């Protein structure tokens, strides 16, 4: 198989970067966020938590892009490694942390796929079979390099977005805004409590640390990607307020995938068309495939560039899939899987913040050194 991780010099446009980030983020969150907010907030104010999470992630995206511009569009790990000899070990540590993170989140996404497929589609088929097929698909996508990954997203994301909008639009006929009142009845504490759930739902922006290295940083600005995050937040808010209004908060707390349940409430042309959950699951699997393929690609890319440069890229991709497959079934139940997802959320957020801080410290140190050298000369 031709492997393009090292050979791929594909330049990503601003639109492609925005679609890639949106498609990567829109994974498990769209199905599970209403339940998470119903449990953590316990009031109809979950949509406010989403707005706070959005603002936080808008700031993170802006910082990541500004950092990339200051390091001249380089991969953050490459930049740190090339600074001086002592930084070599920090770059390797950062590489290992990102490999672990992307492998873990790849396994978590795969585990959620098994649960959704088992509940709504093929409950008689062993979950291992479905996941093996998914990993085979993502491995094949990885072998096509960055350009192949991005073009898949450009192909599938409009379909996913169209179906999600149709489902939301038809559910709004049953929406009662009075179910969201009064606003802030129990104060700010529940809203803040739910903010961590919404911050995790935007995980995926960390791919910018690596994809921006293949973009002309003068053309990639925070504006386009932040508009994409705003659109995603509208999807999250719509799915959440619909679940709270139509299903009820107490019911939403105990439903594993509230957004799928919302599709059961849809009747088109007075019942002529109903039972749309197989459609939303099929479209959602496209979304998960998009998300998993990116995480699989970056984990493989870091491994090859930092640790296994002499190993075939396709072999590394297969190895990542095998390791991730073994991690997928460590949680014994859906509750343990969600707990694992919570751990990954904290891991990813902490790693993103750590990388931003380290990156700006190196930029500041580099500028200070240049100023001293210019004064000496």
Least confident of 63-67, 134-138, 181-185: 181-185
pLDDT at residue number 8: 59
CATH number where 31 lies: 1.20.1740.10
> Residue 4: inside a domain, yes or no?
no
Cα–Cα distance for residue pair 316/309, rounded to 1 Å: 10
Report whether pLDDT(295) > 90: yes
Question: Among all chains, which residue has been given the structure tokens 């980030």?
Answer: 21
Report whether pLDDT(1) > 60: no
Report whether pLDDT(249) > 80: yes
Number of domain units in the chain:
1
| Contact by Cβ (8 Å): 262, 171 | yes
Report whether pLDDT(4) > 50: no
Of residues 346 and 271, more confidently modeled: 346
Residue 317 structural domain: 14-376
Average pLDDT on 164-183 reads 80
pLDDT at residue number 103: 95
Main-chain dihedrals φ then ψ at residue 3, nearest 5 degrees: -120, 130
Average pLDDT on 345-356 reads 92
> Residue 224: inside a domain, yes or no?
yes
> Residue 48: inside a domain, yes or no?
yes
Average pLDDT on 163-181 reads 81
> Residue 3: inside a domain, yes or no?
no
Report whether pLDDT(219) > 60: yes
> Residue 176: inside a domain, yes or no?
yes
| Contact by Cβ (8 Å): 68, 210 | no
Of residues 85 and 363, more confidently modeled: 363
pLDDT at residue number 296: 94
pLDDT at residue number 300: 94
Of the ranges 118-132, 259-273, 313-327, 356-370, the best mean pLDDT one = 313-327
Cα–Cα distance for residue pair 259/287, rounded to 1 Å: 14
Of residues 326 and 196, more confidently modeled: 326
CB atoms within 10 A of CB 216: 12
DSSP per-residue string spanning 244-302: IIII-HHHHHH-S-HHHHHHHT--BTTTTB---HHHHHHHHHHHHHHHHHHHHHHHHHH
> Residue 271: inside a domain, yes or no?
yes
Residue 312, Cα to own-chain centre: how many angstroms? Answer: 27
| Contact by Cβ (8 Å): 77, 302 | yes
pLDDT at residue number 3: 43
CB atoms within 10 A of CB 238: 21
Of the ranges 93-102, 174-183, 357-366, the best mean pLDDT one = 93-102
Tens of pLDDT, residues 79-131: 888 877 778 889 999 999 999 999 999 999 999 888 888 777 777 778 788 88
pLDDT at residue number 2: 42
DSSP per-residue string spanning 172-239: GGG--GGGGPSTTTT-SHHHHHHHHHHHHTTTTGGGHHHHGGGB-TTT--HHHHHHHHHHHHHHHHHH
Average pLDDT on 32-58 reads 88
- Please report the sign of the dihedral spanned by the C-alpha atoms of residue 29, residue 345, residue 65, residue 308: negative
Q: In the chain, pLDDT over 70 holds for what percent of residues?
A: 90
pLDDT at residue number 5: 44
The CA angle 27-278-203, to the nearest 5 degrees, is: 5
Cα separations (Å) of 84 from 91, 202, 365, 366, 368? 11, 34, 11, 10, 14
* Token duo for residue 371: 């100023």
- Look over the chain and give the mean of its residue pLDDT values, rounded to a whole number: 84
Of residues 377 and 182, more confidently modeled: 182
pLDDT at residue number 116: 83
Average pLDDT on 219-225 reads 80
Of residues 271 and 15, more confidently modeled: 15
Report whether pLDDT(302) > 90: yes
> Residue 278: inside a domain, yes or no?
yes
> Residue 263: inside a domain, yes or no?
yes
Nearest to 344 by CA among 359, 358, 330, 357: 330
Of the ranges 39-43, 246-250, 257-261, 343-347, the best mean pLDDT one = 343-347
Strand, helix or coil for residue 12: strand
Report whether pLDDT(25) > 50: yes
Of residues 280 and 18, more confidently modeled: 18
Report whether pLDDT(324) > 90: yes
Report whether pLDDT(362) > 60: yes
């Amino acid at each position: 198989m031709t492997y393009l991780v090292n050979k791929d010099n594909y330049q990503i446009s601003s639109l492609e970067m925005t679609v890639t980030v949106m498609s990567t983020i829109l994974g498990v969150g769209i199905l599970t966020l209403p339940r998470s907010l119903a449990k953590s907030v316990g009031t109809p104010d979950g949509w406010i938590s989403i707005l706070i999470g959005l603002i936080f992630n808008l700031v993170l995206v802006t910082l990541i892009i500004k950092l990339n511009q200051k390091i001249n569009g380089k991969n953050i790990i490459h930049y740190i490694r090339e600074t001086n000899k002592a930084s070599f070990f920090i770059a390797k540590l950062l590489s290992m942390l990102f490999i672990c993170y992307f492998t873990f989140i790849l396994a978590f996404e795969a585990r959620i796929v098994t649960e959704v497929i088992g509940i709504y589609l093929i409950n008689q088929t062993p979950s291992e079979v479905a996941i093996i097929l998914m990993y085979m698909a993502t491995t094949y996508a990885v072998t096509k390099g960055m350009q192949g990954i991005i073009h898949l997203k450009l192909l599938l994301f409009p379909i996913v977005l169209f179906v999600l909008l149709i489902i939301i639009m038809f559910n709004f006929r049953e929406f009662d805004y009075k179910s969201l009142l009064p606003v802030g009845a129990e104060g700010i504490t529940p809203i803040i409590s739910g903010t961590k759930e919404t911050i995790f739902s935007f995980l995926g922006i960390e791919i910018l640390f690596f994809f921006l290295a293949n973009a002309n940083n003068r053309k990639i600005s925070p504006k386009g990607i932040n508009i994409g995050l705003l659109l995603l937040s509208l999807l999250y808010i719509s799915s959440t307020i619909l679940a709270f209004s139509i299903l009820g908060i107490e019911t939403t707390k105990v439903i594993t995938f509230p957004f799928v349940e919302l599709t059961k409430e849809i009747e088109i042309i007075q019942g002529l068309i109903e039972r749309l959950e197989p459609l939303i699951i099929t479209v959602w699997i496209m979304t998960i495939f998009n998300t998993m393929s990116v995480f699989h690609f970056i984990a493989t890319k870091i491994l090859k560039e930092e640790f296994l440069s002499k190993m075939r890229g396709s072999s590394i991709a297969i190895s990542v899939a095998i390791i991730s497959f073994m991690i997928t079934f460590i949680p014994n139940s859906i509750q343990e899987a969600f707990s694992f997802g919570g751990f990954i959320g904290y891991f990813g957020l902490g790693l993103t913040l750590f990388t931003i801080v380290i990156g700006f410290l190196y930029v500041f140190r580099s500028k200070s050194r240049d100023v001293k050298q210019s004064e000496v000369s």
